[in-house]
Amino acid sequence: MAAAAGVVLSACTSAPPQQQPAPVDTGPAKQAEAIGNGGVVASVDPYASAIGLEVLRSGGNAVDAAVATAAALGVTEPYSAGIGGGGFFVYYDAASGKVSTLDGRETAPAAADANYFTENGKAIDFNEAVSSGLSVGVPGTPATWDEAARRWGTKPLADLLKPAAKLAGDGFVVDQEFRSQTEENAQRFAYFPATAQIYLPGGAAPAVGSTLRNPDLAATYDLLARDGVGAIYNGAIGAEIIAATNTPKTVPGKTVRAGKLAPSDLAGYKVEPRDPTHAQYRGLDVYGMAGSSSGGIAVAEALNILERGELRGQPKVDVLHRYLEATRLAFADRNRWVGDPTANDVPTAQLLSQEFADSRSCRIDPAKAAASPAGPGDPKAPAACPAPLAPAGAEGNEGHNTTHLTVADAKGNVVAYTLTIEQTGGSGMVVPGRGFILNNELTDFNFVPVTAGVPDPNLAGPSKRPRSSMSPTIVLDKGQPLLAVGSPGGATIITTVTQTLVNRVDLGMSLVDAIAAPRASQRNGAKTEAEPAFLAQPERADLEARGQAFTQVKEIGAAAGVERLPDGRWAAAAEKARRGGGSAMAVNR
Ligand code: GLU
């Protein structure tokens, strides 16, 4: 009745038609797939992808474009990544056919020891640790950009920072995702005046459609362009990082824990080139990131476990069951054996071996989910289907937000780069006057040993790197790049990358569909996290009958990737819907 009255009223009135509210500007359009013959970029953000694309158009290679895109993400995705954080850079060089990696993970201060996160013999409160100086590690991202540009780029870092500096000065249009992430963090951002000044304009999260400028960050990028990253590791910005970490500036009445960074921690920081992890899967070569990330090792082990049975053409429920069981086992092993390889004896080669995976895959019962936590195997002594060792604890504390980008250029060079400041909003602390947020990466350490009596490779230690799950991955087919992919999502990164590869390689989906497909993440827990669309599948009942148990979560990860099409062109692929959708762009010549 009310609706009918409304219709009559608007039809009969002679008043001028009501003005529609102007549509809210939500920034540049996003698209999940783009195909081109001159190079491609996939990231979560259209401003950042556009900057990478411009670098490709102007003759830069994939490394140049990746660094420029990452710098732009430091502006538009400041709660996920930036020069206050760290990450892992995987590069395929078309000229040599070689895959190389850079470990740009944050490091603990030299003053840290195994009790860094304990007080009176007990773990300190996790959230207290997050928003504090104690969780801040020496940033690795500036050094990673510098190292990548010097080793493999064609343009000086200064040129690659310029578009992001301009973006920071001009500002970007706030979308719903950015506003929501700000609102989720508003309370703790308000503790730190330097953070509130940028991200809580007028005391609240910026409105959707408003423009957010960060002139301090623009000036910081300009300074790095002029003076180089030494301004951070041996200069004025570094001194300010130390001050912000060791004597955090908070509003009256609020104190947070102080960090222990020394100038020598920054001066001594090094990006570590690491041998990539490698697995052969269905005749393809899968390369990833070795320790201090557990990502490459765990993805490779899960694939090696799956390698021992055909998935193609099998009933979907069997594929899903095997996938869940493979990552359950891979997580049992990753938790027990993987940490910073400089501080631990990580049996990387053994964990990556098919022999070890075979000794583990026999534990998969096709009709029954294993009880969790499942015990790890012993990669140092793989035997035919041995009994597992004692379980070595849970997945760890990683946050669920970071960012991933993938680039390929016309020459066939490929970059898969995942970078983070750990939790959404990192430590919550902006370095006053410099416009970037400091990481809380050190909370990726286990605060206390996860299992009494079992050595824990991921306790804090002097200048140690906390274990990561980031899994930037490049897949070659007969020596030529086929695809590259990665995702944010803390420990779920490992399952997202594994599931995307299974979708693409075994189930024959295109990369964009492999990324969009519903996800589930089993990480050696009694329950598997699953998205609503995963649980809506008819296979759910059969999986549950086999003992798989699920917890529903809104969404898992936000992947981005590239793949080479049979005609030689590249397709960039991003999320269709998760986190508001990602941004794929292509150059066509
Ligand atoms: N700190 C996490 C890791 O290194 C990444 C956080 C995330 O993906 O959200 O694995």
For residue 26, is pLDDT > 90? Answer: no
Structural domain boundaries of the chain? 33-271+401-471+573-586
Average pLDDT, the chain: 93
Query: Which of these ranges, 40-44, 449-453, 471-475, has the smallest mean pLDDT?
Result: 449-453
CB 571 within 8 A of CB 40: yes
Of 254 and 291, more confident: 254
Taking the centre of ligand 1 as the mean of its atom positions, its distance from the CA of residue 252, in whole angstroms, is 32
pLDDT band at residue 13, thresholds of 50, 70 and 90? very low
Q: Is 309 exposed, middle or buried (0-12, 13-18, 19+ CB in 10 A)?
A: middle
Question: What pTM did the predictor assign?
Answer: 0.94
The pLDDT assigned to 45 comes to: 95
Give 107-119 pLDDT, tens digit per residue.
Answer: 999 999 999 999 9
The pLDDT assigned to 105 comes to: 98
The pLDDT assigned to 137 comes to: 98
The pLDDT assigned to 14 comes to: 41
Alpha helices in 409-556 (DSSP H): 492-501, 511-516, 532-535, 540-545
255 carries an active-site annotation: no
Closest atom of ligand 1 to 469 CA is 10
Q: Does any ligand 1 atom lie closer than 6 A to the CB of residue 238?
A: no
Of 19 and 175, more confident: 175
The pLDDT assigned to 10 comes to: 33
Q: Does any ligand 1 atom lie closer than 6 A to the CB of residue 46?
A: no
* Pairing state between β 550-552 and 528-530: parallel
Taking the centre of ligand 1 as the mean of its atom positions, its distance from the CA of residue 401, in whole angstroms, is 6
The pLDDT assigned to 580 comes to: 87
The pLDDT assigned to 400 comes to: 62
The pLDDT assigned to 3 comes to: 29
pLDDT band at residue 462, thresholds of 50, 70 and 90? very high
For residue 589, is pLDDT > 60? Answer: yes
For residue 5, is pLDDT > 90? Answer: no
The pLDDT assigned to 182 comes to: 98
Give 361-417 pLDDT, tens digit per residue.
Answer: 998 999 999 998 899 999 998 777 777 787 766 555 555 678 999 999 999 999 999
Strand, coil or helix: what is 89?
strand
Mean pLDDT on 210-237? 98
CB 513 within 8 A of CB 522: no
Mean pLDDT on 348-360? 96
> Active site residue: 220, 402, 418, 528, which one?
402
Q: How many angstroms separate the CA atoms of 484 and 294, rounded?
A: 18
Give 71-85 pLDDT, tens digit per residue.
Answer: 999 999 999 999 999
Taking the centre of ligand 1 as the mean of its atom positions, its distance from the CA of residue 425, in whole angstroms, is 12
Q: Is 566 exposed, middle or buried (0-12, 13-18, 19+ CB in 10 A)?
A: exposed
Q: How many CA atoms lie within 13 A of 398 on its CB side?
A: 26
Of 3 and 482, more confident: 482
Give 184-194 pLDDT, tens digit per residue.
Answer: 999 999 999 99
Of 449 and 281, more confident: 281
The pLDDT assigned to 305 comes to: 97
The pLDDT assigned to 241 comes to: 98
Give 225-249 pLDDT, tens digit per residue.
Answer: 999 999 999 999 999 999 999 999 9
Closest atom of ligand 1 to 401 CA is 9
